[in-house]
Chain A
Amino acid sequence: MSFSTTSTTRRGARWSCNSHWFHLVLAALIIVFREVFEAGLIIGIVLAVTRSVRRRNRWIAGGVLTGVAGACLVAAFAGALSQLFGGMGQELFNAAILSVAVVMLTWHNVWMARHGKEMAGELRAVGQAVAEGSKPLLALAVVVGVAVLREGSEVALFLYGVAASDGGSALSLLIGGIIGLTLGVVVCLLTYFSLMRIPPRALFATTTALITLLAAGMAAQAVAFLERADWLSWMDNVVWDSGWLLSEKSIAGRTLHTLIGYTDQPTEMQLVIYAAVLLGTFVLMRLTGSQHGNRAVAAG
């Protein structure tokens, strides 16, 4: 995962002591930022999805805090974790938590297909809507927690390394890390406020599409981890390489990677799973949505 830092390094080597300090700040900034970037996008989307739900901040903050605590735990036991399953513990752990997030996102979409209209139309007593609203909130809090856990554990590992380095560079790395983290928060807010500019009527369709693509992308990522762990070797041929056109590691590539699961070298299985999640969500939403419609007509 790198936004290229090579050119700055080479230049940095020729610079004086001061710019060495600057280089360390920049290196830490980039490492931390590109990790929190993805989590920032996801939290921004979740905030927009839950804009009208009461007490959503508490749930999302809970997800973030649990994620941070989990990330520190994972980082502290990273050595032990990677020794599991013949050295493939990290990969399988990532595949597992991504699968949990996929299930939660899909569940949220299906739930919204069933209840979204009722809640928006205030057909139900507010109290009941709020009580039921906490179910998808739990699902989304889990998604937020997973995103923070995954991205945060690398940041935590990097910062543990900072603690182990000598005083002078530790300070500059810490400053860079804090700036990187702040930029991640900015990404989150930008995502949220751009989504809030969408008219309320179109927002539901937009966030549903975003959540579905997010889920499909995460499922494809989970496949990639299983392939790396050698647990999944069926249909693992790379279908295309579009790295020359849009590298997965560039800022645009990384944004698309998070939002729609863009991969510059997808395997057949990744594409199959991606399509399956899209189709599965569509069918499930149709089924639950239409069933609800029929019932409403009968009741009316």
Chain B
Amino acid sequence: MTGKKRKLILAAACAVAMLPISVAQAQQATEVQLTYTGGQFQPNEVRAPADKPVVFRIKNLDGKAMEFESKSLRVEKVVAAKSEGVVNVRALKPGRYEFFDDFNDKARGALVVQ
């Protein structure tokens, strides 16, 4: 019985040890503000400098939840109705990164990194 318990603790300890968390230093990130209203992003094109992390702040003013998603940025985040969502993106190479609302495919926009 004690052996069994010891193994359980061992198993749990291993699983926990597999998640070494290091809290990252807050780098100088570019903040990008987006508003979501009437099923559209405002503005629908935003700019950010290259090689710096980007933080999106998405204000959803609509009465419905939306999901901010981008394949090229590797992000997806549900933003509840009348609330704000924060999305971290690592430093990016120059280019055009499209995003959209996964709950409403008419809402599209892009981040242009220069």
Contact = CB atoms under 8 A, between A and B. Distances in A.
Given A78-B78, A110-B7, A232 B24 contact: yes
Interface in A133-179: 153-154, 157-158, 160-161, 164-165
Interface stretch (A63-71, A79-87, A188-196, A254-262): A79-87
A182 interface: no
Given A107-B8, A110-B11, A228-B88, A233 B79 contact: no
A161 B88 contact: no
Contacts of B8: 107
Interface residues of A, number: 56
A230 interface: yes
B83 A231 contact: no
A158 B78 CA distance: 10
Contacts of B20: 232, 234
A284 B3 CA distance: 13
Contacts of B76: 1
A106 interface: yes
Interface string B87-109: 11010000000000011011000
- The secondary structure that dominates the A interface is helix
B49 to A, nearest CB: 19
Contact of B85 (A87, A154, A158, A280): A87
A36 interface: no
A265 B90 CA distance: 14
B71 A99 contact: no
A228 B75 contact: yes
Interface in B10-68: 10-12, 14-16, 18-24, 26, 57, 63-65, 67
B81 A106 contact: no
Given A103-B15, A110-B7, A157-B78, A79 B83 contact: yes
A90 B77 contact: yes
A102 interface: yes
B7 A284 contact: yes
A151 B19 CA distance: 23
Interface in A231-272: 231-234, 236, 243, 247, 249, 265
A243 to B, nearest CB: 7
Nearest to A34: B102
A5 B67 CA distance: 14
A228 B82 CA distance: 23
B112 interface: no
Nearest to B53: A230
Contacts of B83: 78-79, 82-83
When A and B form their complex, which 8 residue pairs have the shortest distance between CB atoms, in order from nearest? A87-B86, A161-B64, A79-B83, A233-B24, A78-B80, A157-B65, A79-B80, A164-B63
9 contacts: A1-B102, A27-B105, A86-B86, A158-B65, A219-B19, A231-B24, A232-B20, A247-B71, A277-B15
Interface of A: 1-2, 5-6, 9, 27, 31, 75, 78-79, 82-83, 86-88, 90-91, 99, 102-103, 106-107, 110, 114, 153-154, 157-158, 160-161, 164-165, 219, 222-223, 226, 228-234, 236, 243, 247, 249, 265, 273, 276-277, 280, 284, 287-288, 291
Given A27-B105, A79-B82, A219-B19, 11 more contacts: A2-B105, A75-B65, A82-B84, A82-B85, A86-B86, A88-B86, A88-B88, A103-B11, A161-B81, A280-B18, A291-B3
